[in-house]
Amino acid sequence: MYVIAGLGNPGQKYAETRHNAGFWFIDCLASQAAVSLRLQSRLHSETAKCDLSGHDCLLVKPDTFVNRSGLAVRRILDYYKLPPDNLLVAYDELDLPAGTVRLKQGGGHGGHNGLRDIFAHLGTPDFLRLRIGIGHPGQKHLVTRYVLSRPDSADARAIDGGIERARDVLPRVLDGNPEAAMTALHRADQSPADNPAPAKD
């Protein structure tokens, strides 16, 4: 079984804020699979089992706040006796423009406190991440207010588009070919200027 965990803050107050982009990805997958997540208190998460492209998956939205995401992720993996190799974590990424989406295997936490906490609880950074670009406010002291606020309409459309592209390449990840998914996302994010049409005779 593959665990797909989205990071975010619980509660209606935070539902539409940028920091909940990981939750939005899980909601997108749940809609596709026609399932509803239910609270599992012992797992500190809302979860739903589903079939995605012929693979058994567990969709997870921790009911802890982002900064304590590791508690829920560790509890899930322990309960189902799964290694970090079976984990994909989706989260908001300040260092990518709104709507740009990238897959990454391992590496640092980039200052994201949710990832930092997952590292601490799992004892390893070696799992797959889906980085959902939300843009950056430009100055470090503005970051907290920025991630806890709603994106404007243009950024919201861009982020939704990025999430849909990530959903579309997910089957390649589940098939064991994340490199192909990474390549597809990179190509999808190229602008027409980067890929000019061939000149006509």
Active site amino acids: 19
Which residues touch 27 (CB under 8 Å, ≥6 apart)? none
Q: Rounded distance, CA 82 to CA 189, Å?
A: 33
- Give 138's DSSP letter: S
Residue 65's nearest CA partner among 150, 148, 131, 7 is 7
- Give 150's DSSP letter: -
**Burial letters for 159-188: b for 16+ Cβ neighbours within 10 Å, e otherwise?**
beebbebbbebbebbbeeebeebbebbeee
Residue 69's nearest CA partner among 129, 156, 144 is 129
Q: Rounded distance, CA 179 to CA 173, Å?
A: 8
Side chain identity at 1, as an amino acid letter?
M
Q: Tell me if 22 sits within 8 A of 89, measured CB to CB.
A: yes
